[in-house]
Amino acid sequence: MTVLHLADEGEAADLAAFLSRLLHYDRGAAVRLQAAGTALAVFGRPPSFEVLAIRAVRLAKPYEDGLDVTLDVTVSAGELLDSVDETAATAAVPRAVTGPPWAGVLPPRGGWRVERGLPAAQSLRAVVAAVVSEFRSRTEELPPEGRTRAELDRIGREIWSRTVGNTPLPVRAVHAAQSLGFLRPATATEELALFSSGAWLRLRTPYGSIAVRQAGLGMLGVSVR
C-alpha cells in the first residue's frame, strides 16, 4: 500500500478535517487524488452545493511509488480518513474505487484569468449568513401542506444561484467554502481571489479552492483526465 508522507502534523490535521466535512454531507463520498512532486491535490464534491472542492496538501518528499512519479486515483474518502495518522503525518492511499461521474471532469490546469469585483472576506461571510437566514425564514413561513421537497428545492435554487458582488460567482460556492472550512474568520481580503477559465470559476482561499461550472456554456474549458 502506498503511503503519503505529509509535510507536518498540521497538513495531516487539515486533510483529516477536510475529509470529515465531505463525509458529513455524503457518508459514501469519494475523492480524487492527484500527486506530483511535493504537492497533493484532493478533489471532492459535496452534493448539497453542486461544486468541486479542492484541498492542496504539502508532502514532505516528492511522491514516488516504484517507477511511478505521479499519482492519479479515485478512492473512498472514509477509507482515506481512516488511514490518516496525524502524529506520524502520513496517510495510506486506499484501493481505487469506480469514480462518480464528476471525478472524470475536472477544472482545467491552466488558462485562468483573474475576475474582478469579489467582495472582501468579511462581506462574503455576511452574504452567507443573510441567505441562510432568508432560506430558514421563507421555509418556516410555508404552510405544512406547502412544505414539499419540490418547493424547498425551488426556494433553495432561487437563493443559492444568486451571484456575489460584481462577479458571476454563485452564492452556493461561497457557502460551500465556508462550510468546508475554506473561508475562516482569519481570512484576509488579499488572500482571496476569483479566477475564470472557459466555463469554470474558481474561488481561491489560503485553505482550499471551490470550483463551479457556469451555466449555459456547454463543455467549454472542461478537462477530462
Q: For each of the domains in the chain, give its residue range(s) and CATH number, in order of start.
A: 3-106 (3.10.150), 113-224 (no CATH)
Listed as ranges, residues in the chain with pLDDT below 50 are: 216-225
Q: What is the pTM of this model?
A: 0.89
Q: From CA 77, how far away is CA 27, in angstroms rounded?
A: 9
142-177 pLDDT, tens per residue?
998 888 999 998 998 899 999 999 999 999 999 999
Closest-CA residue to 22 (of 87, 86, 76, 92): 76
Sign of CA dihedral 131, 123, 48, 114: positive
Give CA–CA dist 156/142, Å, rounded.
14
pLDDT attached to residue 222? 39
- DSSP track, 83-105: H-BTTTTEEE-PPP----GGGGE
- What residues form DSSP beta bridges with 194? 203
Q: Residue 66 carries which DSSP code?
A: T
Q: What is the C-alpha to C-alpha distance for residues 217 and 208, in angstroms, rounded to an integer? A: 25
User: Which run of H or of E encompasses 22?
Assistant: helix 9-25
The predicted structure's pLDDT at residue 215: 63
